[in-house]
């Protein structure tokens, strides 16, 4: 599984080859790969990676021996592998990957799809592996199509000359390649609309300044970074026309979890009468929970707050409050832009009413 190591951006563009499920899990935990849709894709491929030994002649690095955790080195005899071996491997890979990050529901949707694929009928282990490989690639391809559809649906909301504030990174890095919030901005830019984008730096891990600015510059879109605490003054200066962000999990009433600091922007939009848009695929919706109170919020390490790039910025032993996400109540969301259309003033019945919703 090849990823760009997002922790090194924008200083270095280094590709990282992940060879094991544990490697994929570490990459998700440490945010080498991050963003709700992207961690779902990494997990789907991570499950597939756990099956590499079983993929038979399709695998160019097919080994003569393989390592069994219980029994050590065993000869690799593809014909002796059973469907049950595959299902057990999928289960154990899934549980490792599901333990990485709790908030983005895309991770659990992707793992759930791989687990269901693993339960399908197959003539033998090899065919089951093929079904699982097809599923992982399908998740990736579908997600990319979905991002283009979100951009199609969101772009009409963006007017020529708009000044847009975004938070964290919801671009190609965070997704299957085009982006959600940044995909809408990119599409409007491609259509010739002149845009000014403001990117919150997004403390503590600076996804805004490191990643969003990097992506927008590559796309030739005008961007200005600001400290998160400068957002209110930007609104007060009448310099923001709209906010657009991504999401990590949307409850069935429209409450939306996204990167910590998103709620600040929603409150500012309400105060200054500006639209607050969320762009997200249906794989980010969690119809299993009724409100945002039920969204598990990841608490991250103290060190992320009390140091920057390894340099202490607080005295030793300082305590820190470091939730990775906050929840914006649906009442503050002007609209959610999905692949199936725009849900204005989201609520339970509108979310349930989206045509074609699949409870994945």
Residues that are catalytic? 248
Nearer to ligand MRU, 22 or 298 (CB): 298
Binding track, positions 120-159, relative to ligand MRU; x by CB under 6 A: ----------------------------------------
Binding track, positions 157-176, relative to ligand MRU; x by CB under 6 A: -----------x-x---xx-
Measured CA to CA, the distance from residue 223 to residue 196 in angstroms comes to: 6
Q: Applying CB under 6 A, does 117 fall inside the site for ligand MRU?
A: no
The alpha carbons of the chain give a radius of gyration, in whole angstroms, of: 21
Distance of closest approach, residue 182 Cβ to ligand MRU, in angstroms: 8
Q: Applying CB under 6 A, does 36 fall inside the site for ligand MRU?
A: yes
Does the CA dihedral 195-148-4-320 come out positive or negative? positive
Nearer to ligand MRU, 5 or 85 (CB): 5
Nearer to ligand MRU, 53 or 216 (CB): 216
Q: Please name the residue that has the structure tokens 């659990």.
A: 108
Nearer to ligand MRU, 246 or 292 (CB): 246
Q: How far, in Å, are 174, 229, 249, 352 from residue 356 at the CA level? A: 25, 40, 19, 10
Cis-peptide, bond into residue 10, ω within 30° of zero: yes
**Options 246, 254, 261, 292; binder of ligand MRU; rule CB under 6 A:** 246
Q: Applying CB under 6 A, does 35 fall inside the site for ligand MRU?
A: yes
Q: Taking contact as CB under 6 A, which single stretch among the options 7-15, 68-76, 128-136, 242-250 is the one that binds ligand MRU?
A: 242-250
**Options 111, 146, 269, 324; binder of ligand MRU; rule CB under 6 A:** 324
Nearer to ligand MRU, 31 or 90 (CB): 31
Distance of closest approach, residue 226 Cβ to ligand MRU, in angstroms: 17
The count of other CB atoms within 10 Å of the CB of residue 177 is 17
Q: Applying CB under 6 A, does 34 fall inside the site for ligand MRU?
A: yes
Residues found in the chain = 360
Q: Taking contact as CB under 6 A, which single stretch among the options 58-66, 114-122, 243-251, 339-347 is the one that binds ligand MRU?
A: 243-251
Q: Applying CB under 6 A, does 247 fall inside the site for ligand MRU?
A: yes
**Options 24, 25, 32, 37; binder of ligand MRU; rule CB under 6 A:** 37
Q: How far, in Å, are 34, 183, 284 from residue 343 at the CA level? A: 26, 17, 14
Write out the binding residues for ligand MRU, residues 171-200 only, by CB under 6 A. Answer: 174-175, 180
Q: Applying CB under 6 A, does 32 fall inside the site for ligand MRU?
A: no
- Whether the Cβ atoms of residue 334 and residue 276 lie closer than 8 Å to each other: yes
Q: Please name the residue that has the structure tokens 């089951």.
A: 128
Helix (H), strand (E), coil (C) string for 259-298: ECCHHHHHHHHHHHCCCEEEECCHHHEECCCCCHHHCCCC
Q: How far, in Å, are 108, 255, 326 from residue 348 at the CA level? A: 22, 10, 20
Measured CA to CA, the distance from residue 32 to residue 8 in angstroms comes to: 8
Binding stretches for ligand MRU (CB under 6 A): 31, 34-37, 104, 168, 170, 174-175, 180, 207, 245-248, 258-259, 324
């Amino acid at each position: 599984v090849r990823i760009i190591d997002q922790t090194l951006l924008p200083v270095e563009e280094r590709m990282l080859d992940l060879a094991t499920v544990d490697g994929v899990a570490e990459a998700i935990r440490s945010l080498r790969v991050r963003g709700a849709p992207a961690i779902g894709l990494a997990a789907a491929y991570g499950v597939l990676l756990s099956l590499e030994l079983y993929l038979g002649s399709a695998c160019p690095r097919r080994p003569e021996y393989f390592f069994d955790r219980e029994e050590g080195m065993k000869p690799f005899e593809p014909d002796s592998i059973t469907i049950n071996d595959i299902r057990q491997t999928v289960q154990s890979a899934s549980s490792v990957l599901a333990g990485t990050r709790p908030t983005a529901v895309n991770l659990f949707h992707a793992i759930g799809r791989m687990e269901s694929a693993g339960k399908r009928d197959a003539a033998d282990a090899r065919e089951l592996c093929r079904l699982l490989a097809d599923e992982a690639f399908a998740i990736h391809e579908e997600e990319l199509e979905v991002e283009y559809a979100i951009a199609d649906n969101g772009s009409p909301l963006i007017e020529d000359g708009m000044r847009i504030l975004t938070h964290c990174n919801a671009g190609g890095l965070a997704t299957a390649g085009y982006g959600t919030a940044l995909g809408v901005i990119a599409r409007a830019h491609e259509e010739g609309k002149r845009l000014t984008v403001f990117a919150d730096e997004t403390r503590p891990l600076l996804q805004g300044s490191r990643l969003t600015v990097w992506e927008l510059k590559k796309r030739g879109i005008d961007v200005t970074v600001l400290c998160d605490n400068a957002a209110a003054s930007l609104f007060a200066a009448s310099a923001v026309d709209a906010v657009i962000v991504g999401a990590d999990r949307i409850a069935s009433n429209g409450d939306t979890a996204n990167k910590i600091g998103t709620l600040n922007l929603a409150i500012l939009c309400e105060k200054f009468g500006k639209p607050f848009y969320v762009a997200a695929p249906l794989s980010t919706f969690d119809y299993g929970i009724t409100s945002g109170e039920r969204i598990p919020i990841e608490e991250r390490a103290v060190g992320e707050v009390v140091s920057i790039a390894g340099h202490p910025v607080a005295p030793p032993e300082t305590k820190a409050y470091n939730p990775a996400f906050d929840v914006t109540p649906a009442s503050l969301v002007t609209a959610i832009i999905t692949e199936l259309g725009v849900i204005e003033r989201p609520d339970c019945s509108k979310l349930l009413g989206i045509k074609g919703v699949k409870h994945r």
